[in-house]
């Protein structure tokens, strides 16, 4: 006797009832219908395809964008006793063939793969030999050119429809606007799909924005009041380490997580956090996808995200247990300028794309009409140096050429060499006394990169070689000697880039084919950043309403718990009352602004306004210790 979806849910997940629209979605899939499921972060998207796949005979193919997310879900299925395979990068060709054999003959229920893996001919051929009962496209917004995380490789998902025309398809995402939703349906060639959209509202999460010059201090105060787990999102790897270090130094347990640490170290850090041995995880943006930790009480964005979609998805990792939680964005005026510089100033326009493409062809001496399927290796830094090109703009230009199938880049393109000094400065001085021949290159590294004693730091070997008027190989030789003598930790990753030209050289004509699309993508990026900044600068409209209306939901009620609503609901303390309290405190002794805020129970912004007024009225002044004193 076949099992029902509820039987499967109870047996493998331990739940008696589905939540929200899960049962409706599962029923549609079992009726062989295509489904677009727009469910909030924490809405149980994986259950929507895993349960019906278990009910039906055959295997479910799941396309997912992140290796970590794939591995997490496969491990979770295996723990439940469900046979699942992850077809990720770095697997030898012979092993890939064996794994695909298992999918055809081995009674496996799930095959997880990346969209890039799906592009391989052998994978496409073997899928057609499988008894596929369902195709699941996770993070489906990646297939839309209007999505915040468009990945051209995702367009290959449409091929599955042509290979398996009778197999139902479910597309799932937590961050799709109306335009993106329509694009998903069109790209996947859905026929009369069921479109399910649960409200993205998370009524237990208070969305708040704090304007703060000293963000570390504010973060410390926020985390000191939290009993459960915390995620802090930072944009760079180094910043995750710096913030974690600061929190530990202030007696709050924290660790960091980013793409530069080893798989074993990632697992160790993750388990410490999941088991509540560590309270705070400071991480880059990819962290959290597929990780089901219910008791996150606070999510902090230490910098402004580049779009509302990313911000809301990350904020939604708070409060999955249904208990009150907060998602706080810490920002200041410098952050806004930094965001625009980081994401907008490095977008190459059509003219720059044409320039880079022209220089590439000249660099390899490819004549007009030639170059198709030719493969070369070259040094990226040397290329930029010869033609005096901006490295970041050029990097992004090459990425765009790669996305539009003009060239193909090797996967290790973005890897960099890293250095960290392990000794004290006194020990280093003594070492230099005995090894004078290593001093010029070592000192150049020290002068070029700050924080290199505290963190693994990306270094540009070509730049160092140029500064000391030497060769890159000589620089590597010196750094390897320093590593051998345990002066530094050095990871050498060559900066040579494998590049294959996919079309014959036609210069401007080649770029003109997709120039309009690139321009539209750049405008989309600008619009998304402006939407994010409008959300941050907003001082009058409920933050929950702003977010939900961005995703196409019409909301009448205000949330009552965001900083805007709290500001409107709370009565304003008379300025005279606060002034009396502050002056009374200062009669007893000088105090810093932090000490004054901590000593009285009024709202911080009101206290700061009164302090400013007291300064202007010359009732108080600031002394040499940066404390306030009576005049």
Q: Does residue 115 share a domain with residue 57?
A: yes
Q: Does residue 134 share a domain with residue 65?
A: yes
Residue 533 forms part of a structural domain: no
Q: What is the mean pLDDT of residues 150-161?
A: 86
Q: How does pLDDT run across 117-136, given as a tens digit for each residue?
A: 888 888 999 999 999 999 99
Residue 356 forms part of a structural domain: yes
pLDDT band per the 50, 70, 90 thresholds, residue 544: very high
Q: What are phi and psi of 489, to 5 degrees?
A: -105, 125
Separation of alpha carbons 233 and 298, rounded Å: 11
CATH of the domain at 91: 3.40.50.300
Residue 79 forms part of a structural domain: yes
Separation of alpha carbons 50 and 45, rounded Å: 9
Q: How does pLDDT run across 247-298, given as a tens digit for each residue?
A: 999 999 999 998 778 778 888 999 999 999 999 999 998 787 767 788 999 9
Q: Which of 171, 197, 223 is the last residue of a domain?
A: 197
Separation of alpha carbons 76 and 84, rounded Å: 9
Residue 379 forms part of a structural domain: yes
**Do residues 357 and 330 lie in contact, with contact meaning Cβ atoms separated by under 8 Å?**
no
514: containing domain: 350-414+497-525
Separation of alpha carbons 270 and 615, rounded Å: 48
Residue 345 forms part of a structural domain: no
What pLDDT does residue 1 have?
45
Q: Does residue 515 share a domain with residue 472?
A: no
Looking at per-residue pLDDT, the higher value among 454 and 518 belongs to 518
Q: How does pLDDT run across 71-104, given as a tens digit for each residue?
A: 888 988 999 999 999 987 667 777 888 899 989 9
- Encoded tokens for 543: 């933050």
CA 132 to chain centroid, in Å, comes to 32
Q: Is the pLDDT of residue 573 over 90?
A: no
Q: How does pLDDT run across 283-294, given as a tens digit for each residue?
A: 998 787 767 788
Task: List, in order, residues 6 or more apart from 504 with CB less than 8 Å away.
Answer: 369, 370, 371, 372
Looking at per-residue pLDDT, the higher value among 149 and 195 belongs to 195
Of 531, 609, 618, give the one whose Cα is nearest residue 577.
609
Torsion sign, CA atoms 304, 307, 311, 312: positive
Residue 596 forms part of a structural domain: yes
Residue 133 forms part of a structural domain: yes
Q: Does residue 315 share a domain with residue 189?
A: no
What pLDDT does residue 274 have?
92
What is the helix (H) or strand (E) element at residue 577, kind and residue range? helix 575-587
**Do residues 239 and 302 lie in contact, with contact meaning Cβ atoms separated by under 8 Å?**
yes
Q: How does pLDDT run across 296-354, given as a tens digit for each residue?
A: 999 999 999 999 999 999 999 999 888 999 999 999 888 888 898 888 888 999 999 99
Q: What angle do CA 428, 429, 433 make, to 5 degrees?
A: 115
Of 274, 285, 229, give the one whose Cα is nearest residue 252.
229
What pLDDT does residue 496 have?
67
Give percent of the chain with pLDDT exceeding 70: 97
Q: Does residue 122 share a domain with residue 108?
A: yes
pLDDT band per the 50, 70, 90 thresholds, residue 617: confident
**Do residues 503 and 483 lie in contact, with contact meaning Cβ atoms separated by under 8 Å?**
no
Q: Does residue 595 share a domain with residue 476?
A: no
Q: Is the pLDDT of residue 227 over 50?
A: yes
Q: Does residue 487 share a domain with residue 516?
A: no
CATH of the domain at 371: 1.10.10
3-class DSSP assignment, residue 424 = coil
Q: Count up the domains in the chain and report the number.
A: 5
3-class DSSP assignment, residue 496 = strand
Torsion sign, CA atoms 366, 388, 239, 232: negative
Mean pLDDT of all residues in the chain? 89
Looking at per-residue pLDDT, the higher value among 589 and 41 belongs to 589
Inter-residue long-range contacts of 457-461, CB under 8 Å, 24+ positions, other chains counted: 457/238, 457/418, 457/419, 457/420, 458/416, 458/417, 458/418, 459/416, 459/417, 459/418, 459/419, 460/381, 460/416, 461/381, 461/417, 461/495
Q: Which of 197, 225, 244 is the last residue of a domain?
A: 197
Q: Does residue 266 share a domain with residue 193?
A: no
Torsion sign, CA atoms 178, 181, 185, 186: positive
Q: What is the mean pLDDT of residues 613-627?
A: 86
Q: Does residue 441 share a domain with residue 292?
A: no
Looking at per-residue pLDDT, the higher value among 494 and 590 belongs to 590
Q: What is the mean pLDDT of residues 568-573?
A: 64
Residue 530 forms part of a structural domain: no
- Encoded tokens for 618: 């010359």
Q: Does residue 600 share a domain with residue 483?
A: no
Q: Does residue 228 share a domain with residue 132?
A: no
Q: How does pLDDT run across 486-518, given as a tens digit for each residue?
A: 999 888 766 667 888 999 999 999 999 999 989
Q: Does residue 23 share a domain with residue 130?
A: yes
């Amino acid at each position: 006797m076949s099992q029902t979806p509820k039987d499967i849910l109870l047996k493998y997940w331990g739940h008696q009832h589905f939540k929200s629209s899960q049962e409706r979605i599962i029923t549609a899939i079992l009726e062989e219908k295509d489904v677009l499921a727009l469910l909030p972060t924490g809405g149980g998207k994986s259950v929507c395809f895993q349960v019906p796949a278990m009910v039906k005979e055959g295997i479910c193919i799941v396309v997912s964008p992140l290796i970590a997310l794939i591995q997490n879900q496969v491990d979770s299925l295996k723990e439940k006793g469900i046979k699942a395979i992850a077809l990720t990068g770095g697997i030898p060709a012979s092993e890939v063939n064996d794994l695909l054999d298992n999918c055809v003959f081995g009674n496996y229920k799930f095959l997880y793969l990346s969209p890039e893996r799906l592009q391989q001919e052998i994978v496409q051929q073997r899928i057609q030999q499988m008894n596929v009962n369902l195709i699941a496209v996770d993070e489906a917004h990646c297939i839309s050119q209007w999505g915040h995380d468009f990945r051209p490789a995702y367009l290959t998902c449409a091929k599955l429809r042509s290979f398996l025309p009778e197999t139902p398809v479910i597309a799932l995402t937590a961050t799709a606007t109306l335009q993106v939703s329509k694009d998903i349906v069109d790209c996947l060639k859905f026929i009369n799909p069921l479109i399910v959209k649960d409200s993205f509202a998370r009524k237990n999460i208070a969305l708040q924005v704090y304007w703060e010059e000293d963000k570390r201090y504010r973060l410390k105060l926020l985390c000191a009041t939290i009993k459960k787990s915390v995620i802090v999102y930072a944009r760079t790897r180094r910043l995750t380490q710096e913030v974690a270090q600061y929190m530990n130094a202030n007696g709050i347990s924290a660790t960091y997580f980013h793409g530069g640490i080893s798989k074993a170290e990632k697992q160790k850090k993750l388990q410490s956090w999941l088991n509540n041995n560590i309270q705070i995880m400071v991480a880059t943006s990819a962290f959290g996808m597929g990780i089901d930790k219910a008791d996150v009480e606070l999510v902090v964005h230490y910098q402004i995200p580049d779009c509302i979609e990313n911000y809301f998805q990350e904020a939604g990792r708070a409060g999955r247990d249904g208990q009150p939680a907060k998602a706080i964005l810490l920002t200041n005026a410098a952050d806004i300028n930094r965001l625009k510089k980081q994401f907008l100033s490095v977008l190459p326009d059509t003219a720059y794309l044409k320039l880079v493409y022209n220089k590439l062809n000249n660099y390899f001496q490819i004549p007009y009409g030639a170059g198709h399927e030719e493969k070369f290796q070259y040094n990226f830094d040397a290329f930029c140096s010869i033609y005096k090109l901006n490295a970041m703009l050029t990097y992004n230009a090459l990425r765009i050429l790669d996305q539009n199938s003009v060239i193909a880049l090797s996967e290790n393109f973005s890897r960099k060499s890293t250095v960290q000094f392990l000794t004290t400065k006194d020990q280093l001085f003594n070492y230099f006394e005995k090894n004078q021949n290593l001093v010029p290159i070592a000192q150049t590294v020290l002068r070029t990169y700050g924080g290199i004693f505290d963190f693994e730091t990306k270094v540009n070997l070509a730049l160092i070689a140029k500064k000391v008027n030497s060769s890159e190989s000589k620089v590597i030789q010196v750094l390897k000697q320093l590593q051998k003598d345990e002066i530094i930790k050095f990871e050498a990753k060559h900066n040579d880039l494998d590049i294959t030209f996919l079309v014959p050289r036609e210069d401007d004509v080649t770029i003109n084919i997709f120039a309009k699309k690139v321009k539209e993508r750049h405008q989309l990026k600008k619009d998304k950043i402006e939407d994010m900044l409008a959300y941050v600068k907003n001082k009058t409209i409920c933050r929950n309403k702003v977010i939900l209306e961005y995703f196409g939901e019409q909301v009448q009620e205000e949330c009552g718990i965001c900083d805007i609503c709290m500001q409107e609901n709370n009565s304003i303390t008379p300025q005279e009352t606060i002034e009396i309290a502050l002056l009374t405190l200062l009669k007893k002794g000088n105090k810093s602004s932090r000490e004054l805020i901590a000593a009285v129970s009024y709202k911080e912004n009101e206290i700061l306004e009164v302090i400013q007024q007291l300064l202007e009225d010359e009732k108080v002044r600031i002394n040499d210790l940066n404390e306030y004193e009576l005049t």
